[in-house]
Amino acid sequence: MNFLAIDPGEKYCGVATKITASTKSSKELLSFLRANINCYDIVVVEEFRLYPWTAKAHVWSNMPVCKLIGKIEYICEENNIRIIYQPASIKKLPFVKKIIKECGLKFKSQHEKDAYMHLVYYLKEILDEEKDNYLNKNSRNIR
């Protein structure tokens, strides 16, 4: 399976796969998605939430990040690509920070790093789910 993780931003976005991370403008990201979406099985995107403590920063905003996420969602749906949303808060989890640090990767932007963190978190969720399924299946066989 091939995964793509996206950290959308107002001007720049982070994009990560299992082996690369890059920074793209919103326009570049959408062009990249249109040209390459069928290379991916799942797209992981940081969701946008308007929190009370950040609301003032968005007064009079036309919410470009929300619009971009909608366009990403549309491209994925049109191509039958599964989209997974994650909260920004996953970037604060100690195990995600630890894995990123241990990888020794150098990121050109915070958006790149954030996209990679979303990918790491998603891959860990898959591994945990597979492990649980394996243990549940094998524990029945032991009885």
First to last CA, the chain: 34
pLDDT digits (tens, 9 = 90+) for 54-71: 888 888 888 899 999 999
pLDDT at 112 over 60: yes
Strand, coil or helix: 44? strand
135 or 139, which is more confident? 135
Residue with structure tokens 């989890």?
93
10 Å CB burial of residue 49 (0-12, 13-18, 19+) is exposed
Residue-wise burial string across 102-137, b where 16 or more C-beta atoms lie within 10 A, e elsewhere = eeeeebebebbbbbbbbbbbbbeeeeeeeeeeeeee
The pTM of the full predicted model, rounded to 2 decimals, is: 0.86
